[in-house]
Amino acid sequence: MATTPTENRGTWNTKFGFILAAAGSAVGLGNIWRFPTEAASNGGAAFLIIYIICVTLIGLPVMIAELSIGRSTQKNPVGAFKALSTNKFFPLVGFWGVLCGVMILSFYTIIAGWTFSHVFVEIFTFAGWHSAAELLADSENGWINAIFAMLFMGLTIVIIRGGVSEGIERATKLMMPLLVFILVIMTLYVVFQPGAAEGLEVYLKPDFSMITGELVLAALGQAFFSLSLGMGALITYGSYLSKKENIVEAASFVTLADVGIAFLAGLLIMPTIFLAQAQGVEIYDETGNFLAGPALIFQILPELFSQMGGFLGLTIGISFFFLLSLAALTSTISLLEVPTSYIIDEHGVRRKKAALYVGLTVLALSIIISFNTGLIGDIDYIFSVIGLPLGGLLICIFIGYFWKTRSAVDEMKNGFKDIRDSWFTTVWSVFIKFICPIIIVIILAQTIFG
Ligand code: TRP
């Protein structure tokens, strides 16, 4: 029996569920290791302050923009642009978003797989099975990478097949509070350790002499990736949102949650780096820079956990990697949902089939990357460093000059009655038409030609 598109689509059950799902999409590996190490190498609190400014000035307006497009059309990014304008170019922007989603997911799954495999590395190390632990911890082992990528993608597919409220919303409602709980407990533990003060000082005492053009660009790039902007993830999530809800309020909550969790992760990681150093763990690379990203998470932290020793080290180690896996899973869900919703809406495929086909296609790419992890940097550069801000720029241009900010404001009015006469709409419109596009063009030019 054929299903109609609306039967296929689904909606969020509650506003809270939607906010958690969108916050889950935003909170991911980007917050828990990328943010703290960017902050560590960019003057600590100086980066934090610029990051918060970027999130507020660019991130929040673009998030509101994506949610309005989504809710107004109730469609995936490609369908949404088709529905709002006769211009033939913009559906390609939606398509670019779908492609970015597929490509980002293809390598994100590998890193997510590493976080998951490290739960077992911790257990094996504790049990004294050192060769098994070493085997799993070897990120160059293509078979191990592929197996954990399969596991992770399998989990993501199962949740997406469950649909919007029964799958995504139910899963994130369970995972997000758990994530915040583990993060808070771990942070409290670390912050009160003797020797934590040095890390806290680097993190919280701004060194304004560190603010350079490069730092601002890094902070802006981090804002796009971390808030899941620029590829239509929030067009898609917005398309399942009821007209009763207040988009501006929801976007503010999501932004606040994302920044809050990144801030907490900084409180956890920065002192941990210095605690590890006090224990004799090397925290700088040959060039004197912080060992960032994978090295920090997958080398420094496990060493610290094992030096804590015994059951405590084990518990903290397992909790940490489990936490990271949860954060990654709520993000891979949103990355898979975008291409899946595209196939459902535009090609009339049922959700269960669509999720499986798209998931397996992405998995095939992930398996190739499993054996060639050197590809991760290049794919990340093309599709997240360049791709997301480019998408964000085109979304601003679309709203500012084609769909018109007035129409977007009309959409926001559903669920936010007073907005028409508020200063907010004027400010938001100026941001979308001028400020955001100009700043993004500057970043992109710097990234590409700088
Ligand atoms: N925001 C997530 C993180 O910080 C990653 C992510 C999930 C993402 N969905 C996205 C990034 C969509 C860009 C677009 O880890």
The stretches in the chain having pLDDT less than 70 are 1-8, 289-294, 450
> Taking Cα atoms as reference points, which of 13, 19, 7 lies closest to residue 248?
19
**Rounded distance between C-alpha atoms, residue 315 and residue 419, angstroms:** 49
CA distances from 93 to 153, 359, 383, 395 (A): 26, 22, 13, 8
Indicate the top mutation candidate among 220, 226, 258 to test ligand 1's pocket, ranked by most ligand atoms within 8 A of CB. 226
The amino acid occupying position 70 is G
Tell how far the Cα of 378 is from the centroid of ligand 1, in angstroms: 17
In angstroms, rounded to a whole number, what is the distance separating the alpha carbons of residues 99 and 450?
25
Residues near ligand 1 (Cβ within 6 A): 25-26, 28-31, 104, 225-226, 228, 231, 233, 331, 334-335, 388
* CA of 258, closest atom in ligand 1: 4
Distance from Cα 225 to the centre of ligand 1, integer Å: 5
Q: What pLDDT does residue 292 have?
A: 60
For residue 61, the one-letter residue type is: P
Range 316-338 burial, b when 16+ CB lie within 10 A, else e: bbbbbbbbbbbbbbbbbbbbbbb
pLDDT value at position 290? 67
pLDDT at 1: 37
pLDDT, residue 94, reads 96
**Eight-state DSSP code of residue 205:** S
- What is the tens place of the pLDDT at every residue in 392-447? 999 999 999 999 999 999 999 888 877 777 888 999 999 999 999 999 998 788 87
Measure CA 178 to chain center.
Answer: 18
pLDDT at 156: 96
